[in-house]
Each structure stands twice: as C-alpha cells, then as structure tokens.
C-alpha cells in the first residue's frame, strides 16, 4: 500500500515537472506568481489563525503589555510578509543586474520602516496608563517620555534608511552640530518651552485632570506636549499655554485641596435683641459641629461687627469634599439650616438700607 502511494506521488511530481518544463520562457513568471501567491496565503493564514491564537494567550497573561505588543506589530508584520513575497517573486524574474541591485536597498528600507512602525505603535502613552495607575506614576510623565521615544525612533529609522542608500550620514550629523547653534538661536522660545515642560514634569505641580489656576488661565489640565499645556476652561474653551509661562508663574492646584473653604458674613437687622443674636450664633455653631459633611478641624461662628445696616455674624469652616458639585450641595444644605434657625428665633436677615431724618417737620398739606 505504501509503495503504491509513493509511486502515485512520484508520478504526480513527474507530471508537474513536465508541465513546468513545457512552459518554457514563462516558467520564471509562473514561479514568481506562485511565490507571491504563497506569501499572500501565508499572510492571510497568520492574520486569521496565528495572531488570533497568540492574542488569546496574551489576554490570559497577567501582563497587559503582551497584548499591546501583538496589536502594535500586527499591521506592520502583515505588510512585511507581503513585501517579502514581492521581493522573492521579483528575484525569480529575469531582470537586469542593475534592477537586482536596486531590490535589496528597497527591501531593507521597507523592513526598517515596518520595524519603526511597530515600535512607534507600541510606544503609545495610552498603552501604559494602567501601569501608571498601578505604580503611581504620573500620566503626564508617561505621555511626555513616550513622545520623546517616538521622536527618537523616527530619527533613528531615518538615519538607518539614509545609510542603506549609501549617503554620508557622518557629514550630515556633523553639519547638525554647526546648524544646531543657529537653530537654537532661532528657536529660543521653543527650546525654553521644552525645558519648561521638563521642569514641570520634574516638579509635578499638577496632573492630567487637575483644576489649576494661574494669572493667565484657570481650568482643567487635558494634555501636556513638548511646547504647551492644554487647559480646558470652565467656559469649555481649550487654551494652549506655553510651558515656559506655566513654569515661571505662580500656580494654584485646587484639586489637591484636602478640604474646601466656606466663609462669609451673615447680616441680621439692628432690631435683633442681643439674647436672640447669642442664641443664633450658638445654634449655628452647634449645627456646623454636628454636620457630617463639614470638616471639624476649623469652625468659627462669631458676632463679628456692626455694619452700616446690619449686625454681622462671621462664618468660617471647611467641607470634607473638594468636588465642586458636592461642595455646592453642602453649602446649600448649611444655608437652609441657618434659615431654619433664624426663622425659629424670629430673626430677620438685613438688607442694605438708609434712614433719612429731616430737621424740620415736613408738611404734607397743599395750598
């Protein structure tokens, strides 16, 4: 049985050999087409089965970066397999020698490009945000250095491609040393912004999502680039502030408040008896000391001063929350409770008013 199968296989090979010899001058083109079709099929097989299987295994891994590596190199590898197929199929064609000499630099250039493409995809700040949360690394720091690495990858890939085509890279790099001084003088603002960004990263006065305030802008930090920091204002406008300006200005980070302050004067009418005023001050103080959302570290409620049209009670305390919406809710609740205390004591809130006195009695009679 085995001998019969071997004979049939040998006969099949002989028939294909005769058919190949019969093609004559077309055999190189047929070989090239078969090589290309093989790599095209290989590309589809790897994409559909191999990548899917590896990605499933990577998703089961504890390291999130495994899946990121596969996804980063998926498209470059598919393109590279296709390029290899085209390269080998062209080698099978009866081309002139100068054409063969051109194929290798082109193939090497594309190989470097696809490798740089995969590394560029891999070094994306978003791929490492989970790592920043796990190890408490600032997202701005990760985004900044991933952008630096991406620039280095592009530059190195460009240098390697230039070397592939036998250009004098050393002379070009030496020229950069001379031109670098002129460039630095012409781009002083850009360089100062880059160093300002580095200083911000080292000092870490804010993170993405923080509410900051400077003399020039107030809002939420969305992104920091080499040149500027993008801040979303409360009017929902996006402001780009140069890093050098932020680095040299006084900056308040409101997000990093441990608690949030509420302070104001509450004016009551001059007709309020002293005893009722004392009761109101004491009840407001007790209410704040027992309020679950008021920080108990610092609470001041005092009869402060005699204003032009009111007796002023000074309130100074903090909320436990720093979130704007929750802070407003606590402030509203406290205000309603103060109104209840004033109503229970029969005390009225004062409003600006003036009393005018006439030296002589005015007559209302008409002649």
Cα–Cα–Cα angle for 39, 45, 49, nearest 5°?
155
Per-residue pLDDT at 248? 87
CATH number reported for the structural domain that contains residue 281 in this entry:
3.30.70.100
Contact 224, 241 (CB under 8 A): no
Segment 57-70, tens digit of pLDDT? 766 666 555 567 77
Q: Identify whether residues 33 and 80 lie together within a single domain.
A: yes
Of 13-22, 167-176, 207-216, 310-319, the range with the highest mean pLDDT is 310-319
Q: Identify whether residues 161 and 278 lie together within a single domain.
A: no
Per-residue pLDDT at 75? 86
**C-alpha to C-alpha distance for 334 and 21, rounded to whole angstroms:** 97
Q: Identify whether residues 158 and 290 lie together within a single domain.
A: no
**C-alpha to C-alpha distance for 304 and 266, rounded to whole angstroms:** 10
**55-83 exposure pattern, b = at least 16 Cβ within 10 A, e = fewer:** eeebeeeeeeebbbbbbbbbebbbbbbbb
Tokens 């090239």 sit on residue: 32
Helix (H) or strand (E) holding 247: helix 243-247
Domain end residue (candidates: 229, 255, 281): 255
Total tally of structural domains belonging to the chain: 3
CATH number reported for the structural domain that contains residue 236 in this entry:
2.30.30.60
Q: Identify whether residues 238 and 279 lie together within a single domain.
A: no
Is residue 198 in some structural domain?
Answer: yes
Is residue 172 in some structural domain?
Answer: no
Is residue 143 in some structural domain?
Answer: yes
Contact 147, 225 (CB under 8 A): yes
Q: Identify whether residues 197 and 295 lie together within a single domain.
A: no
Domain that holds residue 209: 188-255
Segment 129-148, tens digit of pLDDT? 666 666 666 667 777 778 88
Is residue 104 in some structural domain?
Answer: yes
Segment 165-201, tens digit of pLDDT? 877 766 666 655 555 555 555 556 776 777 777 788 7
Segment 88-102, tens digit of pLDDT? 888 777 776 776 678
**C-alpha to C-alpha distance for 74 and 57, rounded to whole angstroms:** 15
Q: Identify whether residues 47 and 149 lie together within a single domain.
A: yes
Q: Identify whether residues 103 and 121 lie together within a single domain.
A: yes
What is the average pLDDT across 320-340?
Answer: 93
Segment 104-124, tens digit of pLDDT? 888 889 999 999 998 888 887
Q: Identify whether residues 244 and 274 lie together within a single domain.
A: no
Percent of the chain with pLDDT over 70: 75
Is residue 231 in some structural domain?
Answer: yes
Is residue 50 in some structural domain?
Answer: yes
Is residue 174 in some structural domain?
Answer: no
**C-alpha to C-alpha distance for 123 and 156, rounded to whole angstroms:** 15
pLDDT at residue 4 tops 70: no
């Amino acid at each position: 049985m085995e001998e019969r199968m071997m004979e049939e296989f040998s006969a099949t090979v002989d028939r294909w050999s005769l058919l190949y010899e019969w093609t004559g001058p077309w055999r190189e083109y047929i070989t090239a087409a078969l090589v290309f079709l093989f790599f095209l099929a290989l590309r589809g097989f790897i994409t559909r089965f191999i990548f899917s299987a590896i990605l499933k295994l990577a998703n089961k891994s504890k390291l999130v970066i495994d899946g990121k590596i596969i996804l980063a190199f998926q498209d470059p590898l598919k393109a590279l397999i296709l390029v290899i197929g085209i390269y080998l199929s062209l080698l099978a064609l009866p081309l002139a020698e100068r054409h063969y000499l051109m194929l290798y630099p082109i193939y090497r250039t594309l190989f470097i490009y696809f490798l740089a493409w995969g590394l560029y995809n891999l070094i994306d700040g978003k791929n490492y945000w989970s790592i920043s949360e796990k190890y408490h690394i600032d997202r701005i720091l990760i985004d900044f250095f991933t952008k630096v690495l991406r620039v280095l990858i592009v530059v190195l890939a460009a240098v390697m491609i230039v070397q592939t085509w036998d250009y004098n890279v050393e002379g070009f790099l030496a020229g950069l040393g001379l031109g670098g001084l002129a460039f630095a003088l012409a781009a002083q603002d850009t360089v100062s912004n880059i160093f300002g960004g580095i200083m911000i990263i080292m000092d870490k006065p804010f993170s993405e999502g923080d509410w900051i305030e400077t003399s020039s802008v107030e809002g939420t930090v969305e992104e920091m680039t080499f040149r500027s920091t993008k801040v979303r204002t409360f009017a929902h406008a996006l402001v780009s502030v140069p890093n050098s300006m932020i680095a040299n200005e006084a900056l308040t980070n409101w997000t990093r408040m441990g608690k949030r302050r509420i302070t104001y004067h509450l004016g009551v009418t001059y007709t309020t008896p002293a005893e009722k005023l004392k009761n109101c001050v004491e009840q407001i103080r007790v209410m704040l000391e027992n309020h679950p959302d008021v920080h108990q570290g610092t609470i001041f409620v005092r009869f402060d001063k005699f204003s032009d049209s009111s007796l002023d009670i000074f309130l100074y305390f903090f909320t436990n929350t720093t979130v704007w919406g929750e802070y407003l809710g606590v402030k509203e609740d406290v205000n309603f409770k103060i109104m209840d205390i004033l109503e229970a004591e029969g005390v009225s809130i004062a409003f600006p008013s003036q009393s005018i006195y006439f030296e002589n009695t005015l007559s209302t009679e008409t002649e």
